[in-house]
Amino acid sequence: MNSTGTKHPPEIITPSAGIIDFPEMTRLSNGIPIYLIGKGTVDLLRIEFVLNAGQVMEKIHLAASTTNAMLTEGTVLHDAMTLNDLIDRTGAIFNHNADKDSASLVTVTLPRKLDEVMALAAEVLFHPSFPANEFRMLIEKRIQAFLISRQRTSVIAREEFYRALCGDSNPYGRITAIKDYQVISTGTLSEFHSLWYRPDNMYITVAGREPQQAIDLLEKYFGSFSGQWHEPEYPCIKFKTAEPGRIFREVSNSVQSTIRLGWKGITRDHPDYHGLQVASTILGGYFGSRLMRNIREDKGYTYGIHSLAGSFHGMGFITVVTEVASQYREDALSEIKKEIAELAIHPVPPEELRIVKNHIMGETARMFDGPFTIAETIRSIIDYDTDHDYFTQFVRRVETITPDEIKKLFHEYFKIEDAFEIIAGTL
């Protein structure tokens, strides 16, 4: 049999993330921005209403998340059961969520049901009634979830890290207490809603096949509101970062301990931000990372460990997090520091860097694989007011970054003496 082997191995080429275009933007008659993401193959539309109504806007803690959670619990026109029956009859999905920076309502619907769904979306967003009985049941459910969370080391360690990074009174660092659930009322929700759930305080994304077909109905239900849209205004947030060092929090009866090693980072507009994403991926951002190979595969201390470089409005952060059996936490922490020190001294081998670049390019391509995922991805551009070519710049940086540049990033941003060492577990 003749050999079919080749004399030379095939050339390995770093995959491309493709062409990353920012979506077309139009406006309703009152100025509300609408971002249109097409090229869908399924006859569905995903419409998201994003409001500048996150926790950074609240005067009373829990107002933002509770107001958002109550949107589908009854309106001035329908009680909770009738409202949810109407939603079910359309076959649409209604999901709503509030985080630190914003609040949103996502609807997924067939185009032929769009008129009914948009009418219900406007009703839910702008006319909730905050009924007392549903409010009481929600608070009781949340208190139970809160009490259970006090026994999870991962929750305690996360809270303590952000408190050390941002400060007790900062909305990013504030830790919820049981009294916060006892203070909040339906009056609190009504006041928060009247301040922030307004058409001039939101934008809309429409994703799917032929997203332009939604414009007329969006104009009908959202463009007729009085008041002209304006750029979102964010409060001036004060950060009070603690001194670096170890913070231990006792979690009784816990079998494992959670370790969070972290630093103050940089925001998305910093020239090193893209490179820091690459550095973090090498350290612990994918299954073949340095930390996974050492802490999981070699030492067997944990099932998983990861690192992350992220950003809030006005503050960046870097963190490494894992869960280990309590008797291994000092050894695990020592190994994490050893890997960081190694990356700050020695350049990453070219082959390892090539693998990481391939991984990042693949993940970036997946973020733009279809209109629904694109709609989720572009929120990070809109919400943080970054350049529209943010991901194009990111891809370019991934392609060009060198081992020496990565070594410099570790030397500058991963200084062990500047780190918070958060441990949650038993003594």
As a whole number, the mean pLDDT across the chain is 93
Are 271 and 323 in a shared domain? yes
Indicate the residue among 158, 190, 222 that finishes a domain: 222
We report the CATH number of the domain holding residue 211 as 3.30.830.10
- Give me the helices (H) in 36-102, please: 63-69, 80-90
Q: Tell me the C-alpha distance between 89 and 323, whole Å.
A: 44
> Which of 190, 203, 198 has its CA nearest to residue 227?
198
| 5 within a domain of the structure (yes/no) | no
Mean pLDDT across 328-355: 97
Residue 240 lies in a domain: no
pLDDT per residue as tens digits for the range 362-408: 999 999 989 999 999 999 999 998 999 999 999 999 999 999 999 99
Same domain, residue pair 118 and 215: yes
In a domain, 119, yes or no: yes
312 and 411 together in one domain: yes
Domain count across the chain: 2
* Same domain, residue pair 35 and 117: yes
Tens digit of each residue's pLDDT (9 = 90 or more) over 209-248: 999 999 999 999 999 877 788 888 888 889 999 999 999 9
pLDDT of residue 272: 97
The confidence band for 7, taking pLDDT boundaries of 50, 70 and 90, is: low
Within-domain flag for 7: no
Identify the pLDDT of residue 42: 86
State the Cα angle at 54 between 49 and 57, rounded to 5°. 125
Reply yes or no on whether the pLDDT at 11 is more than 80. Answer: no
pLDDT band at 6 (very low <50, low <70, confident <90, very high): low
Please tell me the predicted confidence (pLDDT) of residue 229.
86
Residues 267 and 356 in one domain: yes
pLDDT value, residue 1:
46
Does residue 118 belong to any structural domain of this protein? yes
Range of the structural domain that residue 316 is part of: 245-425
Q: Does 84 lie in the same domain as 184?
A: yes
Statement: residue 207 has pLDDT above 90: yes
Question: Given a cut of 60, is residue 253 above it in pLDDT?
Answer: yes
Point out the domain boundary residue: 169, 189, 222: 222
Q: What are phi and psi for residue 324, nearest 5 degrees?
A: -135, 160
| Residues 67 and 31 placed together within one structural domain of the fold | yes
**How far is the C-alpha of 254 from the C-alpha of 275, rounded, in Å?**
37
Distance from C-alpha of 424 to C-alpha of 257, rounded to nearest angstrom: 5
**Residue 319 resides in a domain:** yes
Q: Are residues 211 and 306 in the same domain?
A: no
268-277 pLDDT tens trace: 999 999 999 9
pLDDT tens sequence across 59-112: 999 999 999 999 999 999 999 999 999 999 999 999 999 999 999 999 999 999
Please identify, among 185, 207, 222, the residue that sits at the C-terminal boundary of a domain: 222
**Strands 420-425 and 245-250, sheet pairing:** parallel
- Please tell me whether residues 177 and 283 are part of one structural domain: no
**Does residue 338 lie within any of the structural domains?**
yes
Residue 122 within any structural domain of the chain: yes
For the residues 155-180, what does the mean pLDDT come to? 96
Based on the fold, state whether residues 171 and 255 are members of the same structural domain: no
Answer yes or no: do 218 and 252 share one domain. no
